Structure 1
Amino acid sequence: MTSTPNGNGGPLDGAVVAVAGAAGPAGQAALLSLAERGATVVAADADAERLAEAVDRARFAHGGAAVTGDTVDLLDLEATREWATRTEKEHGRVDGLVHLVGGWRGSAAFAETDLSHWDLLEKLLVRTVQHTSLAFEGALRRSGNGRYVLISAAGATRPTAGNAAYSAAKAAAEAWTLALADAFRKAGKGSDSGPPAAAAILVVKALVNDAMRAERPNAKFAGFTDVGELAEAIAGVWDKPAEEVNGHRLWLTPQP
């Protein structure tokens, strides 16, 4: 298992964690948190320039941190499988896949829903989950303590009229992830140690970061989760046994 100088002896010390959608604000925060806990982090994004900046920032923040970047088209199943295979081959294991690929489209009213929004969101929020889960499932099982972490939204449970496409896509991604959790549960059936891996869903209302606050200094962002808080919650998924998080929605906002 690869180790870094920043390890603290916790469950992520020396773990290998892949982060999909790593170039955005939430991805950048996740890279920092995982690296700080001693993980070897393999970041992926379709935007090569932003990805390089995110990787450099994480390395600079944690001197000697093992953070690398791969430009991957997660809408291409074979490319995603190649990323998973290459990551396991290079590092000897994969202990986590954090899915942070996002996107949002909405409308003023249900009747004004533009179905082109669904076409886009189905690709970003559902298809990428399908591809990363199919690509990494085997490696996460082989890890013995793997985690697949999906970031979802409260709207998947309680959709609003103007967010029909977004909420439906998030709900589909959750259902797919729960099916992965069932696969992990069945793989551990009859074992005293429980499932070999876990698939968990972290639920937020919405995310906020420092740049958003600077752009809208008078906004309250009520109920929003800071990306730093989300990053800590992501890392915390490894703090609990697999059976305690597998197939569960972990709420970072009040449950509807």
Structure 2
Amino acid sequence: MTTASPTPSLTGRVVAVAGATGPAGRATLRRLAAGGATVVAAGSDAQRLDAAMDAVRAAVPGARISGQVIDLLDPQEVHDWADHLDAEHGQVDGLFHLVGGWRGSKTFFDTRIDDWDWLQDRVVRTLQHTSLAFQPALLRSPAGRYAMVSATAAHRPTAGGAAYAAAKAASEAWTLALADSFTKETTSADGLPTAAAAILVIKALVTPQMRADKPDAKFTGFTDTADLADTLAGLWDRPAADLNGQHLWLTAR
């Protein structure tokens, strides 16, 4: 299929997507490409990454998309990736951190510290690495944007979801610190930030395939991957000063 024509706000933007091969990543790659952005996808599996990019090229003729296999747990590799993109394109206008994962238990007592260790690496540490690596380039961009996807669990933890809720809460705190750096280190003439870091809050994601597989399911409170992608693509439609450090709720509070 062919998606919508480019949106002016994305034309000329260079946007990197970490965690590009998951459902949220695939929808976001397609939306950004359809909007006219130059999209750089990162994933840990070469075959899945190629498949994600091929799907975008089929859906969006003329899509400007490339990919890179990256180990997001290797800070030097992530820094090198950020530096390479900045040098190759002359700018990096966005980094969307869409690396997901969930571990939990039936009760609080049954919580496994091993689950925390896994989530700390996958959810928290990968975000630390991308934010640290891309902060300078996003600050130099005339409209830098950083976004992560959090969950209602960070605000309303459940007994069996302690490790997951804690990981998401830590990721939110780290992202808010990044937002503060954008405020304090801005160099714009009016003193307002040109870069923004935002937190998108969801309950869970639902894909078109999930709806097709369960046509009678209501998926109450779930966020469609396409709606998540639209929100991410729309971050450039809002002034950085209004967006920086904000929680954007895509489900009921």
TM-score by length of 2: 0.95
Q: Which residue of the partner structure matches residue 42 of structure 2?
A: 44
Aligned twin of 1:71: 69
Name 1:99's counterpart in structure 2: 97
For the 8 Å contact 1:7–1:13, the answer to whether it is kept is no
Q: What does 1:18-29 correspond to in 2, within 5 Å? A: 18-29=16-27
CA distance in 2: counterparts of 1:247 and 1:80, whole angstroms? 23
Q: Larger deviation: 20-29 or 9-18?
A: 9-18
Aligned to 1:116: 114
Deviation at 1:196, TM superposition (A): 2.5
Indicate if the aligned counterparts of 2:139 and 2:186 stay in contact, CA closer than 8 A. Answer: no
Report what 2:220 is aligned to. Answer: 222
Asked if 2 retains the 8 angstrom alpha-carbon contact of 1:146 and 1:197, the reply is yes
Q: Deviations over 1:96-153 (max 9, x none)?
A: 0000000001111111111111010001110001000000000001112100011110
Distance in 2 between the 1:62 and 1:214 partners? 23
The alignment partner of 1:94 has SS state of coil
Give the Cα–Cα distance (whole angstroms) in 1 for the partners of residues 59 and 249 of structure 2.
Answer: 29
**Structure 1 residues 7 and 139, CA gap change in structure 2 (3 angstroms):** farther
Distance 2:110 2:189 in 1: 51
Structure 1 residue 31, shift from structure 2 partner: 0.4
CA distance in 2, matches of 1:192, 1:58: 39
Instruction: Tell me if the contact between 1:106 and 1:113 (Cα under 8 Å) persists in the aligned partners.
Output: yes
Moved more, 120-129 or 207-216: 207-216
Alignment check: 8 A CA contact 2:188 2:194 kept: no
Question: Which residue of 1 is the match for residue 248 of structure 2?
Answer: 250
In structure 2, relative to structure 1, the CA distance for the partners of 1:117 and 1:34 (3 Å cut) is same
Structure 1 stretches of 5 or more lacking a match?
A: 1-5
Correspondence for 1:128 among 112, 126, 129: 126
Partners of 1:129 and 1:50 in 2: CA distance: 21
Aligned mates of 1:103, 1:166 — CA distance in 2: 9
Q: Percent identity?
A: 58
Task: Give the match for residue 147 of structure 1.
Answer: 145
Distance in 2 separating the partners of 1:41 and 1:7: 16
Q: How many residues align?
A: 250
For the Cα contact (< 8 Å) 1:102–1:125, is it kept in 2?
Answer: yes
1:184 to 171, 174, 182: 182
Kindly state the Cα deviation for residue 238 of structure 1 after the two structures are TM-superposed.
Answer: 1.1
* TM-score, normalised via structure 1 length: 0.94
Find the aligned partners of 1:9 and 1:114 in 2 and give their Cα distance: 46
Cα 1:236/1:169, change in 2 over 3 Å = same
Displaced runs of 4+ in structure 1, greater than 6 A?
Answer: none
**1 CA distance for matches of 2:122 and 2:60?**
30
Cα deviation for residue 9 of structure 1 reads 5.6
Contact 1:51–1:69, Cα closer than 8 Å, also in 2: yes
How far has the Cα of 1:15 moved from its partner? 0.3
Residues 204 and 9 (structure 1), Cα distance of their counterparts in 2 relative to 1, 3 Å cut: closer
1:188 positional shift: 2.4
